[in-house]
């Protein structure tokens, strides 16, 4: 209650206002930490492509990445792109979370091999991944990390049930309803 009427040095109420300016400056400085990551984006794109085409990377992790790219490509956003800053931020968060989950599912030996092939320093890569993880909301990251396991379990259950071939035959049936 006393916080509501605090006065700053100019005699005006605004204790929370100065805090919000400091918070904005911290957020801006946090975003500046992404400049080194952005400069290495083409190299990291080649790394992700090399990992996607590698058969040793689980398909459930590749599906997460495909889902995120589909989210961005189809334009049906949680936050419409018409809203300045926030419109693009949700796309960035979706891609960052998907990349985090994708990389989390890659075997360390495979990742090390691909990093060496592309000449990417492991220390710089780990620092960049840590920067991205600090940017992502923890509850969202923890929830999304469960999805690949759920996708894998659903795919396995579908395969074991024998429903997959029957469903495919039903979908591609020649005598359509129309």
The answer to whether residue 20 is domain-embedded is: no
The answer to whether residue 116 is domain-embedded is: yes
Residue 107 scores a pLDDT above 80: yes
The answer to whether residue 171 is domain-embedded is: no
pLDDT at site 93: 77
Q: Residue 55 belongs to what domain range?
A: 27-152
The answer to whether residue 66 is domain-embedded is: yes
pTM of the model: 0.58
Residue 131 backbone class (left: φ over 0; alpha: ψ -120 to 50; beta: rest): alpha
The answer to whether residue 1 is domain-embedded is: no
Cα torsion angle, 23, 26, 32, 38, sign: negative
Domain count, the chain: 1
* Per-residue model confidence as pLDDT tens digits over 67-98: 888 887 876 767 776 777 666 677 777 888 88
* Per-residue model confidence as pLDDT tens digits over 127-170: 888 887 777 767 776 777 777 677 777 777 777 887 777 777 77
* CA end-to-end distance (rounded Å), the chain: 67
The answer to whether residue 57 is domain-embedded is: yes
The answer to whether residue 173 is domain-embedded is: no
As beta bridge partners, residue 62 has: none
The answer to whether residue 175 is domain-embedded is: no
């Amino acid at each position: 209650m006393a916080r509501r009427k605090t006065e700053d040095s100019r005699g005006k109420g605004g204790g929370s206002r100065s805090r919000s300016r400091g918070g904005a400056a911290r957020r801006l400085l946090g975003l500046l930490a992404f400049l080194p990551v952005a400069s290495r984006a083409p190299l990291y794109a080649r790394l992700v492509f090399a990992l996607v085409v590698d058969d040793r990377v689980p398909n459930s992790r590749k599906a997460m990445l495909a889902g995120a790219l589909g989210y961005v490509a189809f334009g049906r956003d949680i936050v419409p792109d018409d809203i300045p800053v926030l419109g693009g931020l949700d796309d960035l968060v979706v891609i960052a979370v998907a990349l985090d989950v994708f990389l989390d599912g890659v075997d360390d030996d495979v990742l090390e091999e691909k990093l060496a092939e592309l000449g990417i320093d492991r220390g710089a890569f780990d620092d960049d991944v840590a920067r991205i993880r600090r940017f992502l909301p923890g509850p969202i990251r923890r929830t999304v990390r469960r999805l690949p396991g759920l996708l894998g379990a659903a795919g396995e259950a579908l395969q074991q049930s024998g429903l997959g071939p029957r469903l495919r035959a039903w979908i591609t049936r020649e005598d359509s309803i129309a």
